[in-house]
């Protein structure tokens, strides 16, 4: 297989962690007979410094003509005073919009070796592997009417939760397709006992499910889901939900696993998917060889699994991460007594070395 990958390293720790992911992807390509061509472009603050804009046309064109985008992180104190439209973070919104990325996939997978870093008991969280599929471009964040208006006694603020059949259908398909590459179980989360938009959500998800009978579908109200994620997170495989519920539940699920440096994410929807760690540019540790590259490397594994259907190759990367953790190596953010402290570069090299090793 031959694939073109746009590399947008960005700011802060971005340029430190992205090379680790590229090295691992190149090695897995060589091992399994695939060729990945990487082309870099400017994004975020580094793009503002060079061109005045966070998402130059050249970068957008590269992203659009690639098979997938690998992104480090954007932002930092240097650009915080700029107008909203010129801030580094605008590049992310621009890429999501222009690439038609309406689904956000956020896994919360716990590596057993890190179970003690979680606030929950080991027996509750050991072995969790949940994927939240959040609708990203609809729902209450975008629905109209919205606003704040004067009333006789003060003010009234309002937003509107709106979902169309088309929007629900396409996100449900992403969830079922994704579940097929995992343990084939989807929990659809709504509030169908109270909200009409949720009533439609549930109806459409059931309709879409008719084409995915090999995947099991369960429904759960959002309040119960929030509780079940803490009580028994192992019952979940794929969770599909709206923009608002997904925003909250994906953070809750992510924090079950402990460190922000460990977690990858994917934004998908059209032909080109975008893969990035969930953390930001971490300016406090940038340039110090202290950043944990695992979230970035795991984002590369997600790219293989979800954009290129290379499930075995993605598994190999995740197994290598697991092995390095089992050998006791830790970056500063996940350090614990009795473990071996390594920097960004060494952690990347260790994951590379363990790829495909028994
Ligand atoms: P952050 O995620 O960058 O950092 C939060 C804390 O987590 C910091 O203490 C940092 O050192 C630590 N951390 C983050 N990633 C780490 C890693 N890989 N290894 C070890 N420690 C890690 O969030 P923030 O400090 O709120 O934001 C910093 C900048 O990043 C801001 O400009 C913000 O707008 C931007 N940001 C960008 C993205 C993105 O590019 N997707 C996401 C969030 C924030």
User: Looking at 247, 306, 323, 329, which residue is catalytic?
Assistant: 247
Q: Which long-range contacts (CB under 8 A, 24 or more apart) does 333-337 make?
A: 333/259, 333/260, 333/261, 333/292, 334/114, 334/117, 334/258, 334/259, 334/261, 334/262, 334/292, 336/116, 336/117
Measured in degrees and rounded to the nearest 5, phi and psi for residue 106 equal -125, 105
pLDDT band at 329 (very low <50, low <70, confident <90, very high): very high
Predicted pLDDT of residue 273: 97
> Is the pLDDT confidence value at 26 over 90?
yes
Task: With cut-offs at 50, 70 and 90, classify the pLDDT of residue 336.
Answer: confident
pLDDT at 357 over 80: no
Our answer on whether the CB atom of 75 is closer than 6 Å to any ligand 1 atom is: yes
Using CB atoms within 10 A of its CB, is residue 317 exposed (0-12), middle (13-18) or buried (19+)? Answer: buried
Q: 91 CB less than 6 Å from ligand 1?
A: no
The enclosing H or E element of 220 equals strand 216-221
Residue nearest to atom 27 of ligand 1 (CA): 280
Q: Residue 76 CA: which ligand 1 atom is closest?
A: 32
Q: Each residue of 59-84: pLDDT tens digit?
A: 999 999 999 999 999 999 999 999 98
Checking if the pLDDT of 115 tops 80, the result is: yes
Share of the chain above pLDDT 70, in %: 99
Q: What is the mean pLDDT of the chain?
A: 95
Axis-axis angle for helices 243-255, 222-231 (nearest 10): 10
pLDDT digits (tens, 9 = 90+) for 126-168: 889 999 999 998 999 889 999 999 999 999 999 999 999 999 9
Nearest CA to ligand 1 atom 36: 280
- Cα 342 from chain centre: 25
Identify whether the C-beta of residue 146 lies closer than 8 Å to the C-beta of residue 160.
Answer: yes
Query: Do the strands 238-241 and 185-190 form a parallel or antiparallel pair, or are they unpaired?
Result: parallel
Q: Which of 137, 134, 157, 162 is nearest to 147 (CA)?
A: 157
Question: Ligand 1 center to residue 67 CA distance, Å?
Answer: 26
Concatenated DSSP letters of 150-186: E-SSSEEEE------HHHHHHHHHHHHHHHHTTTSEE
Which residue bears the tokens 């950043």?
Answer: 291
67 part of the active site: no
Closest protein CA for atom 4 of ligand 1: 282
pLDDT 10s digits, 247-302: 899 889 888 887 789 999 999 998 999 999 999 999 999 999 999 999 999 999 99
DSSP state of 237: S
261 CA distance to ligand 1 middle (Å): 9
111 is catalytic: no
Rounded Cα distance between 167 and 172, Å, is 9
Tell me which H or E stretch contains 294. Answer: helix 294-302
Q: Which of 124, 94, 98, 100 shows the shortest CA–CA distance to 112? A: 124
Write down all domains in the chain, each with its CATH number in brackets. 1-108+259-358 (3.40.718.10), 129-255 (3.40.718.10)
Residue 76 Cβ contacting ligand 1 at under 6 Å: yes
pTM score of the predicted model: 0.89
| 3-class DSSP assignment, residue 17 | helix
């Amino acid at each position: 297989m031959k694939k073109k990958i746009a590399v947008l390293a960005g700011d802060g720790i971005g340029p430190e962690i992205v090379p680790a992911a590229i090295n691992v992807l190149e090695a897995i390509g060589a091992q399994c007979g695939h060729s990945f061509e990487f082309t870099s472009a400017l994004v975020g603050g580094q793009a503002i410094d060079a061109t005045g804009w966070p998402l130059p046309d050249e970068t957008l064109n590269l992203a659009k003509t690639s098979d997938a985008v690998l992104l480090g992180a954007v932002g930092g104190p240097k650009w915080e005073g700029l107008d909203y439209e010129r801030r580094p973070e605008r590049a992310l919104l621009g890429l999501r919009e222009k690439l038609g990325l309406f689904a956000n996939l956020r896994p919360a997978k716990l590596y057993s070796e890190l179970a003690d870093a979680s606030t929950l008991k080991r027996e509750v969280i050991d072995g969790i592997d949940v994927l939240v599929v959040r609708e990203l471009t609809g729902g209450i964040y975008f629905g109209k009417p919205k606003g704040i208006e004067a009333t006789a006694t003060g003010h009234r603020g309002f937003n509107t939760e709106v979902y169309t059949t088309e929007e629900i259908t396409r996100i449900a398909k992403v969830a079922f397709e994704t579940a097929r590459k995992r343990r084939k179980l989807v929990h659809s989360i709504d509030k169908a006992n109270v909200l009409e938009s949720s009533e439609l959500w549930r109806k459409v998800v059931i309709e879409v499910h008719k084409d995915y009978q090999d995947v099991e579908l369960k429904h759960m109200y959002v309040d119960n889901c929030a509780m079940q994620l803490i009580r028994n997170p192992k019952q979940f495989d794929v969770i599909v939900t709206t923009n608002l519920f997904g925003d909250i539940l994906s953070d809750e699920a992510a924090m079950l696993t402990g460190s922000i440096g460990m977690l990858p994410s994917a934004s998908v929807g059209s032909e080109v998917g975008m893969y990035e760690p969930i953390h930001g540019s971490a300016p406090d540790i940038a340039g110090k060889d202290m950043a944990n590259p695992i979230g970035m490397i795991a984002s590369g594994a997600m790219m293989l699994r979800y954009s290129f259907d290379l499930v075995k190759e993605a598994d190999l990367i995740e197994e290598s991460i697991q092995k390095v953790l089992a050998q006791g190596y830790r970056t500063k953010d996940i350090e614990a007594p009795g473990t071996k402290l390594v920097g960004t570069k060494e952690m990347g090299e260790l994951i590379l070395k363990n790829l495909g090793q028994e």
